[in-house]
Amino acid sequence: MMHIKQVEIIRELFRQLDENVNVDAGEQLLNPAEVYTSSRIAEQEWQTLFRNQPQVIGLSRDLPETGSYITVDDFGVPVLATRDAGGNLRAFVNACSHRGARVAGERRGRRDRFTCPFHAWTYSGEGELLRVPRAGDFGELDKRYHGLRELPSVERDGLLWVQPDPHGKLDVALLPGSLGTELAASGIGEMVYQGESSIDMPLNWKLANDTFGETYHFSRLHHDTLGQLFYGDVLAYEELGRNHRFVIASRDIEDLRERPEKEWRLLDGALVVYFLFPNIQLTVSRLGANLVRIYPDGVNPGRSVSRISFYLRPEVVDALASAGGAAVDASNTYDHSARHGTDVIAPEATMEIFRSTIEQEDYAMGVDTQRAAESGLIDHLIFGRNEPALHHFHRCFSAALGLPPPQVLAAPAGLRAVGS
C-alpha cells in the first residue's frame, strides 16, 4: 500500500478515535433471515458462488517448492494442487482415472509421485499417468489420455486460485483487480505457512462471514480478549468492487501520535482485514497473515466449515529460529501489558488464541442467530450504520444470486413498536 494511503487511513482512525465516532454507512438495512436458512438459496449459492467461480485455496507459500502439494475438499470437487517441475501452480481433480479413488489423502506434503492407494496407478506432479501395475493383465491403455483431470488455476498476487469446474474457464475478471497489487505489496506471497485448523459449527457460512464485518462487538463480546488489543467502534473501511479493506486500530496506534507522519506505517498501529467475495477473510499484520476460508455445507444451510491457515513473515520466522522458537512479538496475545514487555509467546499459542476467539466468541453468537432464524421467530436482522461491510457483502450476495436486495430500514413499516 502506498505510504500516502497508509497515512490517510491512520488519520481517519485518529479522527474517529478523537471525535468518538465510527464509520457511517448512512443508513440501516434489514436483511431477511431467510438467506441463512433457505435450502433453495443454499443450493443456488453453492452452484453460483462455489462450484462455478474461482476459489482461493491458499497463499503462494502453501506450495513452497516443486513437489509440494495441498488437497482441498471444501467446494464439492476434490482438488489436488501441486507446484510442478517448472515452479507453476497446477490443479487436478483428486480422483484416479481408473476408478476415482483419491490419489492424495493428506492435506499437504511433498511428493514427486502420487500413487493411488486402490490399485497403485501412479501419477506425476504434472498429472501424467506414469505407471499401471500389471499393465499386461489390465489391458492396453494409452497413458497419455488417462492422466489426472486438470482444473483451471492461476497464481496471482500471492494467492492460489482454482476453478472447480474442469470444463469451465477461470474468469480473471472475478479476481481482485487493483486490490491484488495491494495484496502482493503486503507480502502475502512470501509468508511462510505455520499450521492450520478448522471450525465446524451449526451456523450458516454467511453468519460466520458476518462476524468479521463490524467492530461494534469488539468492546462488548471481545471485552476480555480481542478488545484488549484493538479499539472497537473504530473502522477505516473501503469497498473495492465486491471485496473490501477493513482496517482496525490496534491500541499501539497511540505510539504513532508522537511520530512524524513520514514515519507512520499502517501495520505499526492497525490490523488490515481483506475480504474477498464471497468467503475469504485475510488478516494481515506486521507478524504475518491469517487466511480464513468459510464454506457452506453444500446441502444444510445451518452448517459451515471454516478453514484457518496461519503464516508468518520470513523475517519473523528467522527471528523465531534465533530466539529458539519463542516469538519476538506478543502483539497477537491479549495481554495488553505484555506488548512492550519481554514478548514471549509460541506461534502455536497465537494460532490457538485466534481460533478459539472465533469459535467460542464470534461463531457462538452466530449459532444463536442461526437458531433464532430457524425458529421462524425473527424475520430479519438489522445492520446498523456502523456496519457497512455487512451492507456491502449482503448487497453483493443478493445481486450475485438475483435475489431482492436487503431493504433500507425506514419508518417502522411492518414493525410493531414495543408495547403497541
Interface with ligand FES, residue 101, by CB under 6 A: yes
Residue closer to Fe ion (CB basis): 45 or 362: 362
Interface with ligand FES, residue 116, by CB under 6 A: yes
Q: Is 182 helix (H, G, I), strand (E, B) or coil?
A: helix
Q: Which does 220 bind (CB under 5 to 8 A by kind): ligand FES, Fe ion, none?
A: none
Binder among 5, 99, 220, 340 for ligand FES (CB under 6 A): 99
Assign 3-state DSSP to the chain and report helix, strand, coil percentages, each to 5: 35, 25, 40
Q: Which does 96 bind (CB under 5 to 8 A by kind): ligand FES, Fe ion, none?
A: ligand FES
Region for 336 from its dihedrals, namely left if φ exceeds 0, alpha if ψ lies in -120 to 50, beta otherwise: alpha
Residue closer to Fe ion (CB basis): 234 or 256: 234
Neighbouring residues of 240: CB distance < 8 A, sequence distance ≥ 6: 176, 177, 178, 179
Contact 369, 36 (CB under 8 A): yes
The residue to which cell 425506514 is assigned? 410
Interface with ligand FES, residue 118, by CB under 6 A: yes
Contact 125, 67 (CB under 8 A): yes
Residue closer to Fe ion (CB basis): 57 or 248: 248
Neighbouring residues of 43: CB distance < 8 A, sequence distance ≥ 6: none
Contact 391, 23 (CB under 8 A): no
Contact 327, 347 (CB under 8 A): yes
Residue closer to Fe ion (CB basis): 196 or 362: 362
Residue closer to Fe ion (CB basis): 71 or 283: 283
Q: What are phi and psi of 26, to 5 degrees?
A: 85, -10
Give dist(CA 335, CA 354) in Å, integer: 13
Choose the stretch contacting ligand FES; rule: CB under 6 A; options: 119-127, 150-158, 165-173, 229-237: 119-127
Binder among 74, 157, 362, 387 for Fe ion (CB under 5 A): 362
Interface with Fe ion, residue 62, by CB under 5 A: no
Within residues 120-179, the interface with ligand FES by CB under 6 A covers 120-121
Q: Which residue is nearest to Fe ion (CB)?
A: 362
Interface with ligand FES, residue 114, by CB under 6 A: no
CA nearest 200: which of 79, 73, 58? 73
Within residues 242-301, the interface with ligand FES by CB under 6 A covers none
How far are the Cα atoms of 80, 157, 294, 352, 360 from residue 308, in angstroms, in the given order?
Answer: 18, 20, 9, 11, 15
Q: Which does 378 bind (CB under 5 to 8 A by kind): ligand FES, Fe ion, none?
A: none
Interface with Fe ion, residue 214, by CB under 5 A: no
Binder among 56, 57, 72, 96 for ligand FES (CB under 6 A): 96
Q: How far apart are CB 102 and ligand FES at their closest, in Å?
A: 9
Interface with Fe ion, residue 74, by CB under 5 A: no
Judged by the rule CB under 6 A, the positions of this chain that interact with ligand FES are 96, 98-99, 101, 116, 118-121
Judged by the rule CB under 5 A, the positions of this chain that interact with Fe ion are 362
